[in-house]
Structure 1
Amino acid sequence: MIDHQHYTYRITWSEDDGEFVALCAEFPSLSHLASDQAAALKGLTKLVKQVVEDMIANGEHVPIPLADKSYSGKFQVRIPPEQHRNLAIQAAEQGVSINRLVSAKLA
């Protein structure tokens, strides 16, 4: 059973609405507005719980929380050959691998 509390929640101020808005990365179409951050989060977690229960009841695919997934630490990125060449040169000049150089740039 998926725990709705494991989803990735974020609360931010909405200038347009004049309230805090809670968002969930795994359910980008859902949000909840409230006058304070705690109420926004509470409202959205309740909504997400209801949606997950509904999806399960209807036999729909329920997203796995990002926090519950395993990550290998590897991903592949396609870049233009000239950019690849420039990164290789930078790495050589710094005496590191391209992987270490790009990892440092991403950090």
Structure 2
Amino acid sequence: MVDHKHYTYRVTWSEDDGEYVALCAEFPSLSYLAPEQTAALKGLIKLVGEVVADMSANGEQVPVPLASREFSGKFQVRIPPEQHRNLAIQAAEQGVSINRLVSSKLA
């Protein structure tokens, strides 16, 4: 069974609600509001734990935590040909590959 504490959590202030909202990247439909940051996080961790237990009990596929997933370091992006040309020019001018140029821009 997946450890629900290994998911990716974050807490941010919600101006609309006037409280902190906790979110989980692996469960984008879930959130938890509380007046204190720690209470919002603890509430969501508990809620996610309940959801994971329920999903497991019903034979549903439980999301794998992002921290446990393997990433290849590769992804493809489609861009307009003119943008591709401009990147190729920039890379050539800097004496680097397009991959290295785009990687540095993303960093």
Could you say which TM-score interval applies, normalised by the shorter chain? over 0.9
Q: Deviating runs (4+, > 3 A) in structure 1? A: none
The alignment of Structure 1 onto Structure 2 pairs a total of residues equal to 107
Partner of 1:47: 47
Q: TM-score, structure 1 length as denominator?
A: 0.97
CA RMSD of aligned residues (A): 0.7
Query: Any gaps of 5 or more consecutive residues in structure 2?
Result: none
Cα-to-partner distance string for 1:31-85 (whole Å, 9 max, x where unaligned): 1111101100000000000000000111111111111101111111111111111
Q: TM-score, structure 2 length as denominator?
A: 0.97
The CA distance in 2 between the partners of 1:73 and 1:80, in whole Å, is: 23
Query: Any gaps of 5 or more consecutive residues in structure 1?
Result: none
Residue 74 in 1 paired to residue 74 in 2? yes
Percent identity for Structure 1 against Structure 2: 81
The CA distance in 1 between the partners of 2:51 and 2:26, in whole Å, is: 12
